[in-house]
Structure 1
Amino acid sequence: MSEDLLRDGFQRSVEYLRLSVTDRCSLRCDYCMPAGMKFTPNCDMLKFSDFLFLVDIFASLGIRKVRVTGGEPLIRRGILRFLRQLKEIPGIERTVITTNGLKLYKMAPHLKSAGVAGLNVSLDSLDREKYKKITGADQISKVISGIDSAIEAGFGPVKVNVVAMKGVNDDEFLKFAELTRDKNIQVRFIEFMPATPSLWSNERFIAVPEIKAHVEKLGPLVSADKEKWGGPAEIYKLEGAVGQIGFISAVSRHFCESCNRLRLTSTGQLMTCLFGKGDLDLRKMINGGANKKTIKQAIRETVFDKNGVRVLPTAAGPGEEKRSMSCVGG
């Protein structure tokens, strides 16, 4: 294996980069974006040219998959051109997007032609009023239309991310699972895990075994093959179903031992762990005139110090707003 490939101090290979291209979003889900959050001024965000410059460096270090996130990535002007350029970087094998789905009904075909290989759509409720309460917007019909448009455009399965919350949407688990019977989607139930300490709630938390028990009321779940870039989700199918069902144990059974990802925020902070503190300010390095060789070495040293096991934050501290999911890209 080439000595250029990224490995941390625990000999985990790192080949997956999440790019948060904006902290802005057209929705206001409370577990993702704290009330009163101040958004990053445009002048303090990385330019798309900076992202491309950095991804080229990361690709030379062995990064093969890039996920474009936010905030909501599809609201940033010039996103389609950026995606086309991202796909052309040598070494990048797969480019995917996580979106709230509001723009998909118009943009799905364009995303496909731009070379996007996969879509994750965040959708925590199928009930109009409940969706409005969770997100602050009466827009669920656009999201449903967007998912259908994405399937028609050739994205399949479209991954539907459902943050499982007790007392909020646990009465809808069966409805979500039922969607997989005739839609080419992968409904993924994700344990509640906000990055900001003040947003944590034991009352909302429901572990995967309990979620799974709910879903199994529809019938036995059959293990399904995972794709190459499938990540930590356990994948199943209902018998005879077109789509799939996934479970992500983000809290109860973390996957730190196999973590292969890095995060790059819209302000150029490289994060080796969602809950880590050892950020590397790549925007500062770019603005200071650092060359590729210097940046490459700084990345390598930062990744080597990547945490072995994450430590969940339990109390708020200075700069807590930086921990919001909309800032770090989930």
Structure 2
Amino acid sequence: MTNEPLVDGFNRRMEYLRVSITDRCNLKCAYCAPSVTSSSRASSCDMLQDDDFLRLINVFACLGIRKVRLTGGEPLARRGAVGLIERIGRIPGVMEMALTTNGTGLKPVAEELARAGVARVNISLDTLSRHKYRKITGRDGFNRALEGFHAALSAGFSTVKVNTVVMAGVNDDEVEEFARLSIGMKAQFRFIEFMPTSAGLWSKEKFVPMSEVKRLVEKLGPLIPASRRQWGGPAEVYRLANAQGEVGFISAVSRHFCADCNRLRITSSGKLMTCLFGGEDLDLREMMRSGSTDAQIAEAIRHAVINKNAVRSLPEENETRLAMACVGG
């Protein structure tokens, strides 16, 4: 198995792997998971085991992947998640490990995750209202999510980010309130356009372009560009004057960032996805079950990556989608 960089047909180097360790979640956000059980959701026997994840991530690390982000579903809903994460952090070549969570189960394990090697934590939080939270998520977990956020701030992670999907008539009236939090808190508050990732779950009426979100934030003062970090991702990051934290804007729909894409995704059932908006490209679980060697798996990954699309395909062009809960965002 060669250690040559993993580069696609458009000379984009893949260094960032998002791994969904479960498609289960304790919340039922309408834009993330369908209201009924999806046939694409993995059964317990289809879900990758810990050793499967470790094997695959090791193969990807040998191919030049340097950052691994653990997602879900809700990753902390997986039994033994912290132990798995600790083992992933010991894989040679993995230089940074991150976690995306809804925060509701974060408080009891935040410090343990930091000790396990998690450097960055993203917390999905779409509202600062308990009433709205219950309406959006279908659960009364607002207080636990806030407790998780505050636990993350004190646990020793290098970066804590809050991800907010902005939806017209739902939470667009809270944009300034979220941005204002960056003044007194050392965290990054990121606004994300409502993405059409699952057929039937997206509505143009709820879409708010990031240009409008930025205009709302600028009511608080001029935005000062922040320095771009390694593996910084698609967010445009700024700081308000005298703020401890930052604000970020992700224009996932109105201005795609395909030209700089450096990421791949593995679903909880072992499917490799080269694009969030694309289909399932390669069944890595089946390759492992059929006895493929690491070298054969690596070669198949290279082949999938070399055929990675130059730009994504939105639902109007391709309506077949996995729910976000199955992909991991």
Superposition TM-score tier, normalisation by shorter sequence: over 0.9
- Displacement of 1:128 in angstroms is 0.8
Partner of 1:198, secondary structure, is coil
Residue 148 of structure 1, aligned match among 150, 153, 171: 150
Distance in 1 (alpha carbons) for counterparts of 2:200 and 2:164: 21
Structure-2-length-normalised TM-score: 0.96
Aligned residues of 1:263 and 1:270 also touching (Cα < 8 A): yes
Partner of 2:22: 22
Relative to structure 1, the CA distance from residue 3 to residue 50 in structure 2 (aligned partners, 3 Å threshold; closer, same or farther) is closer
Structure 1 runs, 4 residues or longer, greater than 3 Å off: none
Other-structure match for 1:301: 303
TM-score by length of 1: 0.96
Sequence identity percentage? 53
RMSD: 1.3
In 2 relative to 1, CA 177–8 (structure 1 residues): closer, same or farther, beyond 3 Å? same
Find the aligned partners of 1:131 and 1:278 in 2 and give their Cα distance.
31
Partner of 1:35 in structure 2? 35
Partner SS for 2:206 = coil
Unaligned runs of 5+ in 2: none
Residue 125 to residue 40, structure 1, CA distance change in 2 (3 Å): same
Contact 1:156 1:184 in 2 (8 A): no
Residue in 2 aligned with 1:95?
97
State how many pairs are aligned: 326
1:145 Cα offset (Å): 1.1
- For 1:157 and 1:291, the matched residues in 2 are separated by 37
1:105 counterpart residue number: 107
Inter-CA distance 316–91: structure 2 relative to 1 (3 Å threshold):
closer
CA offsets, 1:159-195, max 9 Å, x none? 0000011111010001101111111110000000031
Match of 1:234 among 225, 236, 258: 236
Residues 1:7 and 2:1 aligned together: no
Per-residue CA deviation, residues 93-152 of structure 1 (Å, 9 max, x unaligned), is: 001000000011111111101110100000000011011100011111111111111111
Structure 2 residue corresponding to 1:281, chosen from 272, 278, 283 = 283
Match of 1:265 among 255, 264, 267: 267
On the 8 A contact 2:264/2:273 being kept in 1, the answer is yes
Instruction: Specify the code of the residue in structure 1 equivalent to 2:144.
Output: K
**Paired residues of 2:185 and 2:245 also in contact (CA < 8 A):** yes
Q: Deviations over 1:29-64 (max 9, x none)?
A: 000001102442111111110010011110010000
Q: Which of 179, 184, 197 is 2:181 aligned to?
A: 179
The amino acid across from 1:205 in the alignment is F
Unaligned 5+ residue runs, structure 1?
Answer: none
